[in-house]
Amino acid sequence: MFVDLVAAARRRGTPHRVAVALTAGAPCSPQLFMDIQKHLNVESVKSIYGMTETTASVFQSLPGESMEQVTDTVGYLQDHVEVKHYSSASVTSQVVDDTGRLVPFGSPGELLVRGYNTMTCYWDEPAKTREALGEDGWLRTGDYFTISSDGYGRVVGRKKDIIVRGGENVAPKEIEDLLNEHPDILESQVIGVADARLGEELCAVVRLRDGASVTLDDVTKHVTGRLAKHKAPRILRTVAEFPKTASGKILKYKLREMVEQGVL
């Protein structure tokens, strides 16, 4: 929604000043935060992270944050929410690796949440509930996170969206954030598509500004020297719109199917 609002503001001119823009529902790139502030004439851009299963938010931006904290994180653990190693409170939050062990501050792992705000169950779906919610009350979010020692959370990506290319785990968000800085790209999605040699290959699917054109060579030049070589997309596709859920979330698996089936 913010991508389209910014695009409309570029065409029609900056709107009257807006006090606060609040992002949630999907990770935003640092470039989008800056575009929101500039083109929508926003005084303050803030973030919230949460899920339906956590009865709304877990992390939230605070007043007086630095620009880096605003653009690179989803905010600070809320009141009555703490990371595992903090003093006890009514909600605790931790990050674990694939074996369920705690990982250090700053290292990526799946975010788990426990407390008064987590769901009781998925209605009439006991098997699905057991997959997400442990007997000890920890809820698996399915999101890869890092948590810093100062209490700020950073989304690395959805666990199911991690791409394994030639044995290397690649998180799409880092690549997408960089692609979104390209002047002709409105927004991007990076997916893994089947590859006989590497298992998965990196494919960038992008929406372009009106009248713009971008080649794979343009993308390669844009990311060279700013990303590890194995993270550079090897396939490029363009779309007018991304496939989305009814609530507006982009369906990456649909993009993957479209590319692999030759539809895109």
**Which CATH superfamily groups domain 162-260?**
ANL, C-terminal domain (3.30.300.30)
What CATH superfamily is the domain 2-159? ANL, N-terminal domain (3.40.50.12780)
Most confident range (mean pLDDT) of 44-58, 75-89, 233-247 is 233-247
Spatial strand order of the sheet with 199-208 comes to 185-195, 199-208, 235-238
Checking if the pLDDT of 215 tops 60, the result is yes
How is residue 238 written in tokens? 């363009």
For residue 226, what are its two tokens? 């700013």
Give per-residue pLDDT as tens, 135-154: 888 888 888 888 988 889 99
CB atoms inside a 10 Å sphere around CB 142: 15
Helix (H) or strand (E) holding 222: helix 216-223
Question: What confidence score (pLDDT) does residue 96 get?
Answer: 67
pLDDT(85) > 60: no
Question: What digits encode the pLDDT tens for the residues 21-60?
Answer: 999 887 788 889 999 999 999 999 999 999 889 887 899 9
**pLDDT reported for residue 129:** 95
Rounded CA-CA distance 81/91 in Å is: 5
In the chain, where does the domain assigned CATH 3.30.300.30 lie? 162-260
Kindly state the average pLDDT of the residues 219-224. Answer: 97
| Pairing, β 56-60 against β 76-77 | antiparallel
| CB burial of residue 69 (10 Å; 0-12, 13-18, 19+) | middle
What average pLDDT score do residues 220-236 get? 96
CATH 3.40.50.12780 range(s) for the chain read 2-159
Average pLDDT, the chain: 87
Q: What span, in angstroms and rounded, lies between the C-alpha atoms of 129 and 61?
A: 30
